[in-house]
Amino acid sequence: MKDAASASTPVRRRVIPIAAAQSGGGLFAAHQKVYPRTVRGVFARWRWAMVFLTQLVFYGLPWLEWGQRQAVLFDLGARRFYILGLVLYPQDLIYLTGLLVISALSLFLFTAVAGRLWCGYACPQTVYTEIFLWVEHKIEGNRIARMRLDEGDFSLEKLVKKWFKHIVWLGIALWTGFTFVGYFTPIRELGLEFLQTRMSSWEVFWVFFYGFATYGNAGFMREQVCMYMCPYARFQSAMFDRDTLIVSYDSERGEPRGVRSKSSNARAQGLGDCIDCSLCVQVCPTGIDIRKGLQYECIGCGLCVDACNTVMDRMATPRGLIRYATQNGMAGHWTPRQVLRRVQRPRVLIYTGLLAALTMGVLASLVVRTPLKVDVVRDRASLARIVDGGQLENVYRLQIMNATEQVQRYRIEARGLEGLSVSPPDPVEVGSAQSRWVAVRLQLPYGSATAGSHVVHFDVRSADGSAQVSEKATFLVPR
């Protein structure tokens, strides 16, 4: 990729020489708006399928109920995460770490095999840009109509179309912001608060912050986010090799390019298959010309493949002048079967092995996870004291976290010193998915242990025997 990338020339972004800047221009060329043309084809359909799928999950998930609560809720205030049947506490952060590592490894794996699949099909920037472009297309018309509208003088039609587009964009953006906040505050309550205009200032802030980020990124920044802001575009070349599937132009077949009539004999004219219609450039959401070789601006969306295949069909020429191919496959004229065989290479096998091992490890750990957490804190106000009956007493505070969906009763016992007893001995009741602080006193007959600190253990068991946790503590015996 490196070779191809370095051989390529960016199409529109060009540094203007200092002399030009001094002669009145800026240091950099002004951004030129990209007007992607709509295209039909296999990859365009895949992109829309991914838009529907990702948005169905994103907008739908917070409305899903699980028992008496929201199925997916990250309740930061209560420091509790609910994911379907799982109740996670901050102590379960290891699972979040595992999830992040699995996501990173998946990205490495997919990128090594098929390039920027994530960027082209599932990245929120891609998905929302696609949605916003669709709205723009519906309101302002096709590519030519949009360009004419932007270039044209002020008119009532222009004003109405622009206003209408921005209102629809803002509606989508704010709904997205609302949904985002709905992952952190129960979304039905949030909806009621909104209707009764009693949302908290933080909720209002995040709805607007996330909403305007969506509006700005998908409505205005678009491809610039991928090119100038996203770090992944910069380091993904490190994950590419000559056997990675990338969108490639078959220059051997396409060059020399040139306009010709459908009935003419291109070979007799010394022409390749590219008719230089520029359709592949017009449909590109980042506005590049893939015929100049692989460029870091290419998000691998495959729309130029669809566009060129349509042209090839019209010219009654075989499809695939632009196609997903590997550098080795292109250079060696490999068959698709030969290209696919190279998927099984060491780098891919290592990523797959690591990913499978880690995923299974996290799943197994979740399955055998104890649905009970206990934190022990010493009561610093009374380290050790003699109480009625000649007992030496240490006081602790236990936080008991019930990670099940049922009310649980927990029995607390202590061990580690002869004659150690727990007061009060009664079981503690904790509501479903709730945590509760309880004061617990450990008592020991005075004189039965030497002076100093002794390690003891709290054993907390659920009454039905389904969960047990042991936590270490120290018992102080004064001189």
CA distances from residue 274 to 59, 130, 255, 269 in whole angstroms, order as listed: 43, 28, 7, 13
User: Per CB under 6 A, does 149 bind ligand SF4?
Assistant: no
| Per-residue burial over 193-229, b = 16 or more CB atoms within 10 Å of its CB, e = otherwise | beeeeebeeebeebbbebbebbbebbbebbbebbbee
User: Per CB under 6 A, does 274 bind ligand SF4?
Assistant: yes
User: Per CB under 6 A, does 278 bind ligand SF4?
Assistant: yes
User: Per CB under 6 A, does 304 bind ligand SF4?
Assistant: yes
Contacts with ligand SF4 by CB under 6 A: the residue count is: 29
Shortest Cβ 246–ligand SF4 spacing (Å): 9
- Among the residue ranges 181-189, 205-213, 268-276, 424-432, the one whose residues contact ligand SF4 (CB under 6 A): 268-276
User: Per CB under 6 A, does 182 bind ligand SF4?
Assistant: no
Position among 127, 131, 284, 430 found at the interface with ligand SF4 (CB under 6 A)? 284
Of 112 and 288, which CB lies nearer to ligand SF4 in the complex structure?
A: 288
Of 139 and 218, which CB lies nearer to ligand SF4 in the complex structure?
A: 218
Q: What residues are paired with 3 via a beta bridge? A: none
- Among the residue ranges 1-9, 287-295, 430-438, 470-478, the one whose residues contact ligand SF4 (CB under 6 A): 287-295
Shortest Cβ 276–ligand SF4 spacing (Å): 5
Shortest Cβ 326–ligand SF4 spacing (Å): 15
Residue found under tokens 């993904």: 236
Chain centre distance of CA 386: 57
Position among 73, 227, 301, 403 found at the interface with ligand SF4 (CB under 6 A)? 301
Shortest Cβ 238–ligand SF4 spacing (Å): 19
Of 102 and 315, which CB lies nearer to ligand SF4 in the complex structure?
A: 315
User: Per CB under 6 A, does 133 bind ligand SF4?
Assistant: no
- Among the residue ranges 161-169, 200-208, 298-306, 449-457, the one whose residues contact ligand SF4 (CB under 6 A): 298-306
Tell me which residues in 221-250 interact with ligand SF4 (CB under 6 A): 247
- Among the residue ranges 135-143, 170-178, 179-187, 305-313, the one whose residues contact ligand SF4 (CB under 6 A): 305-313
User: Per CB under 6 A, does 302 bind ligand SF4?
Assistant: yes
Distance CA 464, CA 479 (A): 41
Q: What residues are paired with 72 via a beta bridge? A: 83
Shortest Cβ 38–ligand SF4 spacing (Å): 12
Torsion, CA 274, CA 275, CA 277, CA 283, rounded to 10: -30
Of 34 and 112, which CB lies nearer to ligand SF4 in the complex structure?
A: 34
Of 80 and 291, which CB lies nearer to ligand SF4 in the complex structure?
A: 291
- Among the residue ranges 203-211, 269-277, 351-359, 440-448, the one whose residues contact ligand SF4 (CB under 6 A): 269-277
Q: What is the CA radius of gyration of the chain?
A: 32
User: Per CB under 6 A, does 330 bind ligand SF4?
Assistant: no
Position among 311, 330, 467, 473 found at the interface with ligand SF4 (CB under 6 A)? 311
Enter the tokens of residue 337: 């079967």
User: Per CB under 6 A, does 271 bind ligand SF4?
Assistant: no
Residues forming the site for ligand SF4 (CB under 6 A): 247, 254, 257, 274-280, 283-286, 288, 290-291, 298-304, 307-308, 311, 321-322
